[in-house]
Homo-oligomer: A and B are copies of this chain.
């Protein structure tokens, strides 16, 4: 791992990334919202609910990289406009995925944080392009990627001049079938050892099961993560994707209380 220009926090201090008034890497940042933007009503109601429960930012996909070309591919520009409205309504900054290097420039008009999805982690053209933008980037770990490869992908972004990279552990592919992927929580202390960048955890995609999300969110806090990103929807049962892994606003609010208390305890006791 010799080429990591900005290897450890010991050498250069932890990086804190400002997103509007949120400071990722200080405190514990919670990003919540629907898997996919499906309608204005769904998105704004969800945004209002997660804001009320204490979330710091809104997630929601306008471009969905789906395994099959015949599956719903997202609302595109219309989805981004809805997210902008939701931000206007709630003040929550928007985290949304970009999947094509040609879209980075104009999507940045709507996104406060550009998300690189797991399937595109090694799409080096896209990495370079977000590296040339001014937006913070949420870089998901590829589901088959080693931590070293993931950090090298962060380097692709840093190397273009954009140092605002938030790493996101979202589970790796293993033989275990009960969960959708295997959340590799060890990556949290490993990243703290190897890098100055903040790391958040996505228990929704990692497990694929709503019932497991609270326990693993608390585990993420205790392991030292800088935040979580969670799927919440006002009507999970009507969602077009990821139904089984989506929390209701009530479940999310309940979990938020515990996450906040635990983080406060950890901050005091360490």
Residues of A within 8 A of B (CB): 3, 65-70, 99-102, 119-120, 122-126, 142-144, 146-149, 152, 155-156, 159, 172-179, 182-186, 188-190, 192-193, 206-207, 211-212, 215-216, 218-224, 258, 261-262, 265-266, 269-270
| 11 interchain pairs, CB-CB under 8 A | A3-B68, A65-B122, A67-B152, A68-B155, A70-B159, A100-B125, A119-B123, A172-B176, A174-B174, A183-B186, A215-B224
Protomer copies: 4
Q: Which residues of B contact A179 (CB under 8 A)?
A: 186, 190
Among B124, B147, B148, which residue has its beta carbon within 8 angstroms of that of A99? B124
A188 to B216 CA separation, bound complex (whole angstroms): 9
B99:A125 contact, CB within 8 angstroms: yes
Evaluate whether A69 and B147 lie within 8 angstroms (CB atoms) in the complex, with A122-B119, A222-B262, A223-B219 already known: no
What is the distance, in angstroms, from A200's C-beta to the closest C-beta of chain B? Answer: 15
Write out the residue numbers on chain B whose beta carbons fall within 8 Å of the beta carbon of A101.
100-102, 125
Given contacts A100-B101, A176-B147, contact A216 B190 (CB under 8 A): no
Q: A100-B125, A102-B102, A125-B100 are in contact. Are A146 and B219 (CB under 8 A)?
A: no
Across the interface, do B156 and A3 meet the contact criterion of CB distance under 8 Å?
Answer: no
Task: Report chain B residues within 8 Å CB of A182.
Answer: 172, 174, 182, 184, 186
A259 to chain B, nearest CB (A): 10
Q: Which residues of chain B have C-beta atoms less than 8 A from A173's C-beta?
A: 144, 175
Q: Is the CB of B219 within 8 A of A222?
A: yes
Not counting A70-B155, A186-B216, A262-B265, a sample of 10 additional A-B residue pairs whose C-beta atoms are within 8 angstroms of each other reads A3-B70, A67-B149, A120-B122, A120-B123, A143-B144, A148-B178, A182-B186, A185-B185, A185-B219, A215-B224
Expressed in whole angstroms, the Cα–Cα distance for A81 and B184 within the complex equals 39
Nearest residue, chain B, Cβ from A3: B70
Q: Which of B172, B178, B270 is close to A190, meaning CB atoms less than 8 Å apart?
A: B178
Q: Once bound together, how far apart are the Cα atoms of A193 and B160, in whole Å?
A: 45
The distance from the CB of A169 to the nearest CB of chain B, in whole angstroms, is 11
Q: Is the CB of B223 within 8 A of A215?
A: yes
| Contact partners of A177 in chain B: CB under 8 A | 146, 148
Chain B residues with CB below 8 A from A176, complex form = 146-147, 172, 184
- The distance in angstroms between the C-alpha atoms of A125 and B261, with both chains bound, is 43
Determine the residue in chain B with the shortest Cβ distance to A218. B222
Least distance between A144 CB and chain B CB atoms (Å): 3
